[in-house]
């Protein structure tokens, strides 16, 4: 279980997170929605320790993440980055097997490659792609490789940062379905940030709406449409008028 309480983060004059309280149960798929620049990515990076919060606590299974053994902590995570964040200098299979080729989980090259090819197959990529370089792949294929890399070491918790941004609707549907299936079959805890409502409906068990550095609403996805919260209603219906200023 991941718990955030009173998490604050300021960059210069900009108070990005103003006291976030959020709980993600084990095996649950939480989707955080909110407009661009509302601090969704910063929130995610705070949990991973890529950004240090100014105040507040973040715990994983009761243990404060800032005081935990970093390697052991990160070994439990997998992350799909918005742009894929694949390493250009490495082949596709080396990207997928990155964690398996180094560090505590290091295994023989042949075994790591076998797992990488299997994970590529799981995300719908042929074994031939294993020896290609990321620059030779389309955006959708890069996202799939990123997904394969995120799940390669069988993590307990997977983070997805804008998984469908920049993809066509069909490819978005494919990625959403893959995320849903993989999270379900691995029994993993998932945290996704997105502003794509199709993704939200496809992936989420629970939804949290982030606006102006605070969680405005949180609840099961089934209750999202019926909630009277004006922020959620404006966001999910994409209205230009409402409590959320359209010009940020």
Query: Applying CB under 8 A, does 104 fall inside the site for another protein?
Result: yes
Query: Applying CB under 8 A, does 70 fall inside the site for another protein?
Result: yes
Query: Applying CB under 8 A, does 40 fall inside the site for another protein?
Result: no
Part in contact with another protein (CB under 8 A); list of ranges 77-85, 112-120, 227-235, 238-246: 77-85
- φ, ψ of residue 168 in degrees (nearest 5): -70, 165
Residue with smaller CB distance to another protein, 24 or 79: 79
Query: Applying CB under 8 A, does 79 fall inside the site for another protein?
Result: yes
Query: Applying CB under 8 A, does 231 fall inside the site for another protein?
Result: no
Query: Applying CB under 8 A, does 50 fall inside the site for another protein?
Result: yes
Query: Applying CB under 8 A, does 99 fall inside the site for another protein?
Result: yes
SS (H, E, C) the chain: CEEEEEEEEEECCEEEEEEEEEEECCCCEEEEECCCCCCHHHHHHHHHCCCCCCEEEEEECCEECCCCCHHHHHCCEEEECCCCCCCCCCCHHHHHCHHHHCHHHCCCHHHHHHHHHHHHHHCCCCHHHHHCCHHHCCHHHHHHHHHHHHHCCCCCEEEEECCCCCCCHHHHHHHHHHHHHHHHHHCCEEEEEECCHHHHHHHCCEEEEEECCEEEEEEEHHHCCCCCCHHHHHHHHCCCCCCCCCCC
Query: Applying CB under 8 A, does 52 fall inside the site for another protein?
Result: no
Of residues 111 through 150, those in contact with another protein by CB under 8 A are 149
Part in contact with another protein (CB under 8 A); list of ranges 97-105, 177-185, 204-212, 235-243: 97-105
Query: Applying CB under 8 A, does 107 fall inside the site for another protein?
Result: no
Residue with smaller CB distance to another protein, 78 or 231: 78
Query: Applying CB under 8 A, does 74 fall inside the site for another protein?
Result: yes
State the minimum distance, in angstroms, from the CB of residue 49 to another protein.
8
Rg (CA), the chain: 18
- The correct pick among 93, 98, 160, 235 for binding another protein (CB under 8 A) is 98
Q: Where along the sequence are the contacts to another protein (CB under 8 A)?
A: 45, 48-50, 70-71, 74-75, 77-79, 81-83, 85-89, 98-99, 102-104, 149
């Amino acid at each position: 279980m991941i718990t955030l309480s009173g998490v604050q983060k300021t960059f210069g004059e900009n108070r990005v997170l103003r006291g976030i309280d959020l709980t993600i149960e084990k095996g649950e798929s939480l989707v955080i929605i909110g407009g661009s620049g509302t601090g969704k990515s910063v929130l995610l990076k705070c949990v991973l320790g890529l950004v240090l919060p100014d105040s507040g606590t973040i715990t994983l299974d009761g243990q404060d993440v800032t005081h935990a053994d970093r390697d052991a902590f990160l070994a439990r995570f997998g992350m799909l980055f918005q742009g894929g964040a694949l390493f250009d200098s490495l082949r596709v299979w080396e990207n997928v097997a990155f964690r398996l080729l180094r560090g505590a989980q290091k295994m023989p090259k042949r075994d790591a490659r076998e797992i990488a090819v299997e994970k590529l197959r799981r995300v719908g990529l042929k074994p031939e792609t294993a020896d290609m370089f990321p620059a030779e792949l389309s955006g959708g294929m890069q996202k799939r490789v990123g997904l394969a890399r995120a799940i390669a070491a069988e993590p307990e918790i997977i983070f997805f940062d804008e998984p469908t941004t920049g993809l066509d609707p069909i490819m978005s549907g494919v990625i959403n379905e893959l995320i849903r299936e993989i999270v379900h079959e691995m029994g993993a805890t998932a945290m996704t940030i997105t502003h794509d409502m199709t993704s939200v409906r496809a992936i989420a068990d629970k939804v949290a709406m982030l606006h102006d550095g605070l969680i405005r609403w949180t609840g099961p996805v089934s209750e999202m449409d019926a909630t009277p919260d004006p922020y959620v209603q404006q966001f999910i219906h994409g209205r230009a008028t409402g409590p959320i200023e359209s010009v940020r």
